Amino acid sequence: MEGCCGMPTEIRFIADVMLGKLATWLRLLGCDVEYFPQITDDDLVERASRSGRVILTRDTELIRRRKVRDNQFFVRGDGYRDQLRQVAERFSIEPWGRILTRCLRCNETLEAIDRSAVRDRVPPYVFETQPNFWTCNRCGRVYWRGTHHDKSLAEIREIFRPRDDLRPEG
Q: Under the rule (CB under 5 A), what is the footprint of Zn ion?
A: 103, 105-106, 136, 138-139
Cβ closest to Zn ion, residue 41 vs residue 108: 108
Cβ closest to Zn ion, residue 94 vs residue 108: 108
Calpha distance 64→62 (Å, rounded): 5
Helix ranges (DSSP H) in 39-136: 41-51, 80-90, 124-129
Closest approach, Cβ 85 to Zn ion, in A, equals: 26
| Strand 32-35 with 72-74, pairing | unpaired
Closest approach, Cβ 106 to Zn ion, in A, equals: 4
Cβ closest to Zn ion, residue 11 vs residue 142: 142
Closest approach, Cβ 78 to Zn ion, in A, equals: 28
Calpha distance 54→132 (Å, rounded): 33
Amino acid in position 65:
R
| Burial letters 41-60, b for 16+ CB under 10 A, else e | beebbeebeeeebbbbbbbe
Closest approach, Cβ 31 to Zn ion, in A, equals: 15
Cβ closest to Zn ion, residue 11 vs residue 104: 104
